[in-house]
Amino acid sequence: MEINLVSDTVTKPTPEMLQHMFRAKVGDDVYRQDPTAVELEETVADLFGMEAALFFPSGTMANQAAIKLHTQPGDQLICDKWAHVYLYEGGGASFNSGVSCSLVDGNRGMITSLQVEEHITDPEFYHNPKTSLVCIENTTNKGGGACYDIEELKRIKQVCTDNNLKYHLDGARLWNALVAKRQHPKQYGELFDTISVCLSKGMGAPVGSLLLGDKETIHRALRIRKILGGGMRQIGYLAAAGLYALQHNVGRLEEDHRRAREIGVLLQQLYWVDKVEPIETNILIFSVKPQFDEALLMEKLKQKNIFISSMGKGKLRIVTHLDYKQVMHDYVLEALMKIEL
């Protein structure tokens, strides 16, 4: 029994999801003739109270399309120093859109309205790049699944409005935040110009993200998706997995959050653990004490068929997910208790 806690991207479709995919009605989506893709797009747009949505093969492509939609070459976007759009998208902001990133030293990947204000350049001072976009990530990946306070997001929205800035949400794990904070998607649809949401992490679909916005913006996104190579044919099979995930896998995210918290409680009691970061959702980040070898810990877990990941600088990460069952969870807790370093 292999237990992969490296990421929530490792999940495989359940037999029930596969059956739903097999039964999908499909067409050529490049001609906008795939009925299941259209159904998914309309369903998610309605869920967030936004006008339109567009299916993308990845969250990275959806985010990159959003940046392209909201900026011109030479512009600058504001984001946290740990933001996915800056750290983990291959430098796409500069490559695809010709923009730079003004990095905010936030708290666990989260920035404040005051910090955003401080990073906006004077639009009349043409020596500086022009600030045109603010990118938020919720939950934060490198911040350990931290969730923004909705009131802070509203304050950032006001700063964007006051300074004529666009506002994009990288909501790769927004479903986790919605469950953890007991929020409704429409609360986010009211705030952001565009939102990307992922279906292939905690939701358990094999592939797919969506970009949401108003009709005019999403119409323009269709061309950008084509340029980036994201136009696909019979994507209804993938869209069907997303529809199944929305119907069956949102509420159960609380199970992932509970298991992450339980692992965190245990880790705090172990002599070789230095610190466990706050746990709000399904991502757990911890560090071992300096006198112990984190590589040895990972090797001992590997010998027990338990796989976790290193984030560098002494930090280790565990991510719970759909395929991490209770029997596995019990085994992991017992294995951690018995490890000697």
Residues 118 and 62 in one domain: yes
The full DSSP string for 115-128 is HHHHHPPPTT-TTS
Same domain, 161 and 89: yes
Report the pLDDT value the prediction gives residue 5, as an integer from 0 to 100.
98
Cα dihedral across residues 197, 201, 203, 205: positive or negative: positive
pLDDT, position 26: 98
Task: Give the residue from 221, 248, 275 where a domain finishes.
Answer: 248
Q: Do 291 and 244 sit in the same domain of this protein?
A: no
Q: How confident is the model at residue 313 (pLDDT cuts 50, 70, 90)?
A: confident
Length of the chain as a residue count: 341
Helix axes 59-70, 215-227, angle to 10 degrees: 120
Tell me what pLDDT residue 314 has.
Answer: 80
Q: Which domain range does residue 72 map to?
A: 15-248
| Paired strand residues for 54 | 211
Same domain, 154 and 299: no
Residues 6+ apart with CB under 8 A from 319: 5, 6, 7, 8, 260, 282, 283, 284, 309
**161 CB contacts (<8 Å, ≥6 apart)?**
none
What residues have CB less than 8 Å from 275, skipping those under 6 apart? 286, 287
3-state per-residue secondary structure call for 284-339: EEEEECCCCCHHHHHHHHHHCCEECEEEECCEEEEECCCCCCHHHHHHHHHHHHHC
In this structure, are 183 and 261 located in the same domain?
A: no
- Note whether 148 and 241 are same-domain residues: yes
Q: Which of 248, 282, 308 is the last residue of a domain?
A: 248
> What total of structural domains would you count in the chain?
2
Same domain, 292 and 241: no
67 with 99: CB under 8 angstroms? yes
Q: How far apart are CA 160 and CA 14, in angstroms?
A: 42
For residue range 239-277, list pLDDT tens digits in order.
999 999 999 999 999 999 999 999 999 999 999 999 999
Strand, coil or helix: 142: coil
Domain co-membership, 243 together with 286: no
For residues 144 and 267, membership in a common domain is answered with: no
Contact 261, 268 (CB under 8 A): no
β 273-276/283-288 pair status: antiparallel
- Is 216 in the same domain as 290? no
Express each pLDDT in 190-244 by its tens digit.
Answer: 999 999 999 999 999 999 999 999 999 999 999 999 999 999 999 999 999 999 9
**Confidence band for 1, pLDDT divided at 50, 70 and 90:** confident
Given a cut of 90, is residue 39 above it in pLDDT?
yes
Query: Whose structure tokens read 């005019």?
Result: 216
DSSP class of residue 110 equals: B
- Domain termination site, one of 248, 283, 311: 248
